[in-house]
Amino acid sequence: MAGVVSGHVVVVGAGLSGLATALHLLGDGYEVTVIERESFPGGRNGTWSQDGFRFDTGPVVFTMVNLLEEAFAAVGRTASDYVTLKLLDPGYHTHYADGSRLTIHHDHAAMRAEIARVCSQRDAEAFDRFVVWLKALHDVELPYFIDANFDTPLDLLRHPVAALKLWGLRGFGTLGPEIASWFRDERLHKAFSFQALYAGLAPERALALYAVIAYMDVIAGVRFPEGGMHAVPRGMAAAITDAGGEIRYDCTVWRVQRGLDGSASGVELASGQTVASDAVVVTADLPVAYERLLPGLKAPRAARRGAFSPSALVWHLGVRGELPSGVGHHNIHFGQAWGEAFEDLIEHGRPMADPSRFVAIPSLDDPDAAPDGCHTLYVLEPVPNLRVGRIDWEVEAPRLRARMLDFLTGFGYPTDIVTEKLVTPLDWEAQGMAAGTPFALAHTLAQTGPFRPRNVDARVPGLVFAGSGTTPGVGIPMVLVSGKLAAQRVRERLR
């Protein structure tokens, strides 16, 4: 940990990015107060209990544990001091419209053997080279283009050798064709490119550099925390208080206070109380942060008119019954249509005619999540966000629920429903997510790296942003990095 320095920082929001920010700042010796509107930490990584079942309401895939370790290390702790993370191997079970299945293993030899068995020996040999390429992408992207603050696009030239390496690795090509160049079997094309949806794009339009997400899944491995995904923010919050930080729950920030020179000087709470500080870190979704916390300050163009990622219809189910064979903790069910489904979702703003779906079964690795003889299911179907789609969700939600129920029944999942909750884009919007999507701004070329909305605003010195709407982007690994980068910005300001 760094030596003690002077300064008090308020962090608005106890989501993963805010918690990471707080840990890094505490490690630098700053006084930190985290203000959270809910009665528990987590933000989008929330939790919900009903009728004896416990559900994770946000992300359900955890990768890149090293980034979590960095946050704990800032205060002299390790992740294992607060949370137990289990490696899931297989990480995924993929199911195809023709009835075939492919198991995605963390172990290289097992994955190679699976590809040889299901696809071909040629594709198994290609997998060896593919893994080398993925690791090379990761090694050049993470330190120079992900874990880095940018002030202008010219900052890309700070590391010309790294930029040339990324170019040489074809990182600026398109993801779909790049994956197809490695493998002949179309099932592998889908298995190693569906991650483009995390970036808010169809594989045919995403930059090939986003194959790094496949690296996080396949090479770094998928973990599951003992006690559910919410154990991670709970552990981070405990580390903050152990390190001397303060977390105020059930407090809503009304606006960011600004001094006579325009700089951030603290926050005003909905109760009327003010909390003075030397810097303020805001983790709310960027467009919402400007609209609600910074009245009169025009948001960056991308936050106002940018392209947003698709949203998700998420169905939380507590069910009785046995699971079908061939499923695991994470299951991806690919529809027959691939390109057409993305056109429905992103271009036409309508539900996929032939959807691909994600089904998680957390109770397989968290027995306390469901009563005996029961399971928790998390069923996700991508749907248009509220800016692209013109959907009447009061009408469409029940129809899509019925379609999802038919899918579950047809595949053999238990459907004796004890309790349930269906989350639509309207619900995401009500939770403070712009365009009704939990995946924020899409990672188009114009919204990637130095072109993504910055985590500082020159008009408000001392104000810093963190979270998926700013640098570096969407997903648990990215928001953990976002917290680290926000802490760096605070250090630059207060020093």
Domains, the chain, ranges and CATH?
8-48+59-84+227-305+444-494 (3.50.50.60), 109-214 (no CATH), 309-434 (no CATH)
Distance CA 410, CA 407 (A): 5
Q: Region 429-440: what's the mean pLDDT?
A: 96
Residue 111 has pLDDT above 90, yes or no: yes
* Pair of tokens at residue 47: 């939790």
Rounded alpha-carbon distances, angstroms, from residue 284 to 26, 152, 463? 21, 23, 13
Name the band, by pLDDT with cuts 50, 70 and 90, for residue 1: very low
Provide the sign of the torsion angle of the four alpha carbons 362, 366, 371, 374, taken in this order: positive
> Is the pLDDT at 425 greater than 60, yes or no?
yes
Residue 349 has pLDDT above 70, yes or no: yes
> In this predicted structure, what is the pLDDT of residue 2?
47
Cβ neighbors of 348 (< 8 A, separation 6 or more) are none
Cα(253)–Cα(278) distance, rounded to whole angstroms? 16
Beta bridge partners of 420: 317
| Residue (of 135, 91, 97) closest to 111 by Cα position | 91
How far apart CA 206 and CA 203 sit, in angstroms, is 5
User: Is the Cβ–Cβ distance between 47 and 55 less than 8 Å?
Assistant: yes
Q: Specify burial of residue 166 (Cβ count, 10 A radius: 0-12, 13-18, 19+).
A: buried
Q: Is the pLDDT of residue 3 over 70?
A: no
Average confidence (pLDDT) over 134-162: 92
**Stretch 41-65: mean pLDDT, rounded?**
95
CA distance 425 to 390: 11
As a whole number of angstroms, the distance between CA 312 and CA 200 comes to 11
Identify the weakest region by mean pLDDT among 210-224, 352-366, 399-413.
210-224
The neighbour count for residue 50, using CB atoms within 10 Å, is 13
Over residues 398-402, the mean pLDDT reads 98
Closest to 179 (Cα-Cα) out of 218, 139, 130: 130
What pTM did the predictor assign? 0.95
Q: What is the mean pLDDT of residues 135-157?
A: 92
Distance CA 467, CA 287 (A): 12
pLDDT at position 167: 95
